[in-house]
Amino acid sequence: MEQIFKGGRYRSSTHSHSLSLATIARITRTPSSNGQPARIFYFLLELSTRERQCYILHMANGWSLTEVAAELQITKWSAQQYVDRAKEKIKSKNF
């Protein structure tokens, strides 16, 4: 996937944001003695593709909801709903 520099951030030139297992593993790789990265990894796999995309782009990468919406070609309201659903699922797992 080709990366292009846009608005101070690198963005993919295609809109294929399925966030591969390798990407999720890289994002969740943090030092921990209690196995938390593995829990995060498997939890992220339980989210829908769109919830995972929105949650990671917004929460882990720090993108605004407007940026997430533009990148994924959805409305800002939809991006917010996906992030909120992911947060609720996290809360329900006592994570």
Amino acid at residue number 38: A
pLDDT of res. 16: 47
Q: Tell me which of 32 and 56 has the higher pLDDT.
A: 56
Any domain includes 7: no
Any domain includes 30: yes
Where in the sequence is the domain holding 85, given as residue range(s)?
Answer: 16-92
Amino acid at residue number 24: I
Domain count, the chain: 1
Report the sign of the C-alpha dihedral through residues 76, 92, 57, 60, in that order: positive
pLDDT tens digits, 24-42? 555 555 555 455 666 777 7
Which pTM value belongs to this model? 0.64
The CATH number of whichever domain residue 67 belongs to comes to: 1.10.10.10
